[in-house]
Structure 1
Amino acid sequence: MAAEPMSGKLTAEVELHGPPAKFYNVFRKTAHHIPTHTPSHIQAVQVHDGDWESHGCIKFWIYTCEGKIEVFKEKVEFDDAKKTVKLNGLEGDVMKIYKVYNPIFEFVAEAGAGGKQGVAKLAIEYEKLDPSFPPPTKYMDFMIGLTKEVDAGIVKAALD
């Protein structure tokens, strides 16, 4: 049996019913509202260095993954043209398992049927600290759930 690779990239797509540009702006400009949209996933987020909107700012997240409270400190990169947010892991629970842990959210507009306005392309770039550690599939599941809840919050806010 072949050993799992030490590094890789997981990907997934989530259909968006709210406008992808609005979704990007939540991450880009109002990340402090994310716990309101998804309290089951994100309990708090704070700016550690910089401000909410600055490229390269450092944020500290408190979240729940598979019923366990964890923390994550990241340095954020924004690409306004591609509507992409990349979180570069610095410290926290995931960094006990991964040398590199970079979640990426890309929000793409698409004309679709059934209220679909676009898609969130999700990815996690990772490198494990030890070959026995699993790939970050539970964190991809977390990203999918978070994306769906924030999308529902955006749609609900538009209806209110």
Structure 2
Amino acid sequence: MGLKGKLTAQIEIKAGGDVFHELFRYTPHQIPNMSPTTIQRCDLHKGEWGTVGSIIFWNYTHEGKPKVAKEVIEAIDEEKRSVTFKIIEGDPMELYKAFKASFHVETNGDVDLVTWTFEYEKINDDIEDPLSLLGVCIKLTKDIESYHLKAT
């Protein structure tokens, strides 16, 4: 079993890929209003919303327990509608030496697809791959979609 891994999930959304990308880039502090059972708080610790190098602190629920993560925005690509976050502190770092989470939005005709990708290095072979954490991102994506569909 390898210590390094990569997981990917792709979710079709009807709420619009631009809305999703702009939310995570410029106003992630609004996400707790859209998915309060998943994300309880999102605070800017350093920098400005939507800029590379900014540090964001998240309070979230994973497997029924309150968790925290501090991330730095590592990359933003407007053309690909993507954002890459590198986790630098918090609960995931108890299990992983390195952890990056990114998403990008693709449009095929009338269909928008959100693709989440985790790249990680486990502390040891006994650590499970972060499948349940990827499930948190899938739930979050669906909650954001539902919120925006109700608003329109």
TM-score (norm 1): 0.91
User: Which consecutive unaligned segments of at least 5 residues does structure 2 have?
Assistant: none
* In structure 2, C-alpha distance between the alignment counterparts of 1:63 and 1:110, rounded to whole Å: 31
Offset at residue 50 of structure 1 (A): 0.4
1:65 corresponds to 2:62:
yes
Q: Secondary structure at the match of 1:54?
A: coil
Q: Deviations over 1:82-109 (max 9, x none)?
A: 1011110100000000011111111112
* In structure 2, C-alpha distance between the alignment counterparts of 1:87 and 1:27, rounded to whole Å: 11
User: In structure 1, what is the equivalent of residue 32 of structure 2?
Assistant: 35
* Matched AA of 1:137: L
1:107 corresponds to 2:101:
no
Q: Secondary structure at the match of 1:18?
A: coil
Q: Deviations over 1:50-104 (max 9, x none)?
A: 0112222000000001101000000012111110111101000000000111111
User: In structure 2, what is the equivalent of residue 22 of structure 1?
Assistant: 19
* In structure 1, C-alpha distance between the alignment counterparts of 2:118 and 2:45, rounded to whole Å: 22
User: In structure 2, what is the equivalent of residue 119 of structure 1?
Assistant: 113
User: Which consecutive unaligned segments of at least 5 residues does structure 1 have?
Assistant: none
Q: Secondary structure at the match of 1:46?
A: strand
* In structure 2, C-alpha distance between the alignment counterparts of 1:156 and 1:30, rounded to whole Å: 19
Q: How many residues align?
A: 151
* In structure 1, C-alpha distance between the alignment counterparts of 2:65 and 2:120, rounded to whole Å: 21
User: In structure 2, what is the equivalent of residue 135 of structure 1?
Assistant: 129
Displacement over 4 Å in runs of 4+: none
Structure with the largest fraction of strand: 2
Identity fraction in percent = 34
User: In structure 2, what is the equivalent of residue 78 of structure 1?
Assistant: 76
Structure of higher CA gyration radius: 1
User: In structure 1, what is the equivalent of residue 95 of structure 2?
Assistant: 97
Q: 1:23·1:154 contact (CA, 8 Å) conserved in 2?
A: no
